[in-house]
Amino acid sequence: MKWEDVRHAFPESWVLIEAVQAHTNEKSERVLEEIAPLEKFADSPEAMRSYQDIHREDPYRELYVLHTSRREPAIIEKKWVGVRR
- Let me know: does 15 contact 41? Beta carbons within 8 Å: yes
Look up residue 31 and give its amino acid: V
Q: 84: pLDDT confidence band, cut at 50, 70 and 90?
A: low
Per-residue pLDDT for 73 more than 70?
A: yes
Alpha-carbon gap, residue 39 to 34, rounded angstroms: 16
Query: Hey, where are the domains in the chain?
Result: 3-75
End-to-end Cα separation, the chain, in angstroms: 37
Which helix (H) or strand (E) is 7 found in, with range? helix 3-9
Residue 48 has φ and ψ, to the nearest 5°, of: -70, -35
| pTM passes above 0.85 | yes
